Structure 1
Amino acid sequence: MKKLNISYWISTAIFSVLILIQGSMYFYSDTIAQNFQELGYPDYFRLQLGVAKLIGGTLLLIPFSGRLKEWVYAGFTINLISASIAHTVTGHPIHKIVMPLAFLTVLGFSYVLGHKSNKI
């Protein structure tokens, strides 16, 4: 049980730190702003998504369980799948298509391990 708990926190911390870094970059990175423009999204969506990622990444690190945490996982799942599809449709390089799926894999580990260790 202890290994399960440690594995849950490691996968959750890795995902959360990466998503918090990415979410904060949504506010100042010209490259990310350009990517959103190439994808056809309005600039305000980038800012909204940045706020959502900061809030969601923080909520995953707070030790509580319940419906809200389930919605955080669902929101990130939808976001990451949608990002991969958007990059695929616009013909972006493979690393931009695969990166959200790699994040999704880490999120999946966190989710499954969280249920097994009764953290979610």
Structure 2
Amino acid sequence: MLTESVVGAYWDLARIPYVEETFAGLRYPMYFATILGVAKVAAVAALVVPGFPRLKEWAYAGLFFVYAGAAASHLAVDDPTANTVSPLVFAGLTLASWALRAPAQRDPKPLPRALKFRRA
């Protein structure tokens, strides 16, 4: 998952022909590739730097949304189903990586009471 994110970030930021073709097919503006590339770099940095467990939670969530969003985007423009499989696999790997983390890498602090949702 990290390797795909690093390679994907490079591809997005370099705007290689594959990315340009894919974004054109999905009807995305090319500046979105820059946004995704920067977000992937930030997520990878958050995951590899020791400590910062809450930041890692956000990084996992961000990567999951990138991959799930990619799958949904391919479905929305009626791309072949095969184009949806890779992003779904990476979304699943992201969830598995998040769920199987060592306890030392998890965020041990619950949210403060003031931030918890209250039932009406």
**TM-score normalised according to structure 2 size:** 0.79
Normalized per residue, the structure richer in helix is 1
CA displacement at 1:108 relative to structure 2? 1.3
How far apart, in 1, do the equivalents of 2:27 and 2:55 lie?
30
Pairwise mapping of residues 105-120 of structure 1 onto structure 2 (< 5 A)?
A: 105-114=92-101, 116-120=102-106
Larger radius of gyration: 2
1:63 aligned to 44, 50, 61, which one? 50
Alignment: residue pair count: 105
3-state SS, counterpart of residue 78 of structure 2: coil
Match of 1:90 in 2: 77
Pairing partner for 1:47 from 29, 34, 38: 34
Q: CA RMSD in A?
A: 1.5
Match of 1:38 among 6, 11, 25: 25
Percent of residue pairs identical: 29
State the match for 2:111 in structure 1: none
Unaligned 5+ segments in structure 1 are: 1-14
Q: Which has the higher contact order (CA 8 A, sep 6+)?
A: 1
Runs of 4+ in structure 1 deviating by more than 3 angstroms, as ranges, are none
